[in-house]
Chain A
Amino acid sequence: MTTPQSASRPASPPRVGLFVTCLVDAMRPSVGFAALKLLRDAGCRVEVPDAQTCCGQPAFNSGDTADAAVLARRFIESFEPYDYVVGPSGSCVGMTRAHYEEVLSNDPAWSERARRLGERTYELMSFLVDVMHYTPTDVKLDSSFTYHDSCSGLRELGVHDQPRALLDKVTGLTLKPLEGNDVCCGFGGTFCVKYPSISNAVVTEKAEAIERSGAQLLLGGDLGCLMNMSGKLKRQGSKVRSLHAAEVLAGMGNGPAIGEED
């Protein structure tokens, strides 16, 4: 049986540029190290471009397209040398993959560079499954988890089955479905601080649904959403611990969760 070329695993180890993302860089480096480990385990040569900073999403979503374009061009220059660009966030990858062309639409040459880089840019979970056909082995965690599908990853990139398929291979870990798993948590980037009361009302309902799932862990693929949900759970004195799915997959599930002392 032959598989189509596009669906087969790259023959030689691909050179991957790790797109760390601002939040992981500043708030939770363990997610970056987990991504690094998973990509290496999956057979990639991983490098971390030194020049990377922010993808420009806050500017873009604020209507400041000119500033977003400055950062988009920087991002493209930093990551163009790699076979693939992979980041542990649907939101940040969605920005570069789904919106850079629009941000740079006034400049055909740059817009084309954005499109071509976008084709090689992936959210971590989908890259591991769809491109590298990776299956975690010897990962163990005795716990139960519920999974929140962050909106950008879900709707802009089609990330839904991949994290579940990977987490399914973790020995001892069981899924407790989340009611409204595809409903926004109310984070929305700058939305949560521009409209704090509305955001709070949304995340309060989300926290209630997480509690109702009965899971011990809340997992997701976007640190922004996880910080929002775990922040609400913590404030309410919940026992649910929140982690990025990559951390669990990299065997770091027993380490300090989001909002726990390191």
Chain B
Amino acid sequence: MQEATVSFKARAERALADPTLKLAIDRTTGTAERKRAVAMTQFPQFEAARERGKRIKDHVIANLDHYLLEFERNAIESGAKVHWASTAEEASQIVVSLCKQANAKRVTRVKSMLGEEIGLPHALDEAGIERVETDLAEHIVQLGGDRPSHIVWPSMHRTREQVSDMFKRAHRVPHQEETIEAMVASARRELRDKFLSADVSISGANFLIANTGATCTVTNEGNAELTTTPPRVHIVTAGIEKLVPSIEHAFLMLRLLVRSATGADVTQYTTFHCGPKQPGDRDGPEEFHIVLVDNGRTRMLRDAALKEMLRCIRCGACMNHCVVFRQLGGHVYGGTYPGPMGAVLTPVFDGLESSRDLPHACTMNGKCQEVCPVAIPLPTLLRGWRDRSWREGLEPTAARFGLSIHTFVASHPRLYRLGTAIAIKVMRLFSRGGLVRGMPGLGAWTKHRDFPAPARRSFMAMYKNSENKR
């Protein structure tokens, strides 16, 4: 929360000055990038699958009302209780009151970015309910008292060396050996009995399957099964854009999601939940609740450009391949979702005024769009926010003034040539040995790199001269 009071640029400076953070980011995103690249060579149908994935999501988004009602009908038929929340606050309050109704002292959670989006960890803590994060990375985030910095690897900002120290301080029987296996075993010892003694479990959903009313969750640790099976009450929170028509559609989306996220063919665990424990079932929750969350999504649906963002399946490929994210990590973005997808979504959730840096801090290189498994034109959406920021007067006066002068000058070629000639003269005055190492107005460039001295005369001037001689 203290992050919000510090400006984006100040947060960026802090991140750039942290070599341990950079090491942690490079390890995780570097591995993700390499593994995805290998997975793509073994998935020649990727382009075709991506086109189908895009069409499935577009179809569902265009018929969202139909699929939502179908999902609700089938979920109720399976014995689930369906709740609707239009805002983040409403969603987290529904979950908290369900926990209170169940007299919950302790809840276990499976990592869910929607849970973060609706502020659930904070709401549960406020309500005095003990919250146990069962995802290993979320457990690390909880121990560190911070927020996820990546949507797939929430504790990506920590090196394993830092995690080792944290476990040694916090765990009852910490690891002795400095191996990953020993550290995982330490976390398992710490968490195992909490899994079994929780009153309520809370998970998210990667997909909501309309024709069965089932939810689908992917994990690599198996914590989803262990979390959601023993407690008496299971609550699923999901954004309304998670719908797919059928399980077949979910499988196609899974192929795209997992390869794009981790480079694996499939996650270790793919879990489907459909209703509470039925007569004859050996285990499972007695109550099964699904909280369907809007939180700005229907507003995005009404926007021709932002609507495309509702295709997002939260794989994280865009951030793994983003040159800016790879320098800054996720916390600098300040919202629930970091990287290019976060730069599109955070202005939706938090308003553009407080987040206008996010769509601007992008080089428009297009790599995110290239790797997106559902072909979201992220640079176009980011430019859309810049456009809106300009129209709403949020851009700095200097930029507005500068660009209107530039347009005026560039609309009058003779004036433009004169301006170019003067700029060349001035820059050459400040140059030595072919380089400008510092000059008023060029500081943002020359602080970090040299600026080449321009040639004596512009192309247009020299060309005119040479043509006259011909």
Contacts and interface: CB of A to CB of B under 8 A. Distances in A.
Interface of A: 20, 24-30, 32-33, 36, 48, 50-54, 56, 58-65, 67, 70-71, 74, 102, 151-152, 155-156, 182-184, 186-189, 191-203, 227-228, 230-232, 234-235, 256, 258-262
Nearest to A188: B363
Contact of B323 (A62, A64, A183, A230): A183
Nearest to B415: A53
B65 interface: no
Given A63-B383, A155-B365, A191-B363, A30 B455 contact: yes
Interface in B382-412: 383, 385-391, 395, 399-400, 403-404, 406-407, 409-411
A184 B363 contact: yes
A53 B411 contact: yes
A34 to B, nearest CB: 11
Nearest to A28: B455
15 contacts: A20-B460, A28-B455, A29-B462, A59-B406, A59-B407, A63-B383, A63-B385, A71-B411, A102-B380, A183-B367, A188-B365, A195-B361, A197-B13, A197-B448, A234-B450
Given A74-B411, A155-B365, A231-B450, A193 B445 contact: yes
Nearest to A195: B361
Given A20-B460, A70-B407, A198 B361 contact: yes
Contacts of B389: 63
A54 B410 contact: yes
Q: Is the interface of A mostly helix, strand, loop or mixed?
A: helix
B367 A25 contact: no
Contact of B455 (A29, A187, A191): A29
Interface string B170-184: 000000000000000
Given A198-B361, A261-B433, A26 B424 contact: yes
B444 interface: yes
A234 B16 contact: no
Interface residues of B, number: 63
Contact of B444 (A51, A60, A183, A193): A193
Contacts of A183: 323, 367
Interface string B267-307: 00000000000000000000000000000000000000000
A198 B386 CA distance: 19
A28 B360 CA distance: 28
A63 B463 CA distance: 33
Nearest to B451: A231
A259 B416 contact: no
Given A29-B459, A202-B323, A67 B451 contact: no
A156 B366 contact: yes
A204 B315 CA distance: 28
B390 A63 contact: yes
Given A29-B458, A29-B462, A258-B452, A65 B363 contact: no
B12 A184 contact: no
B364 A61 contact: yes
A192 B400 CA distance: 18
Given A199-B448, A202-B327, A62 B390 contact: yes
B459 A53 contact: no
Given A53-B413, A152-B366, A192-B444, 14 more contacts: A26-B424, A29-B462, A62-B403, A63-B387, A64-B390, A65-B390, A151-B366, A184-B363, A189-B364, A191-B364, A198-B361, A234-B450, A235-B448, A259-B435
Contacts of B448: 196-197, 199-200, 203, 232, 235
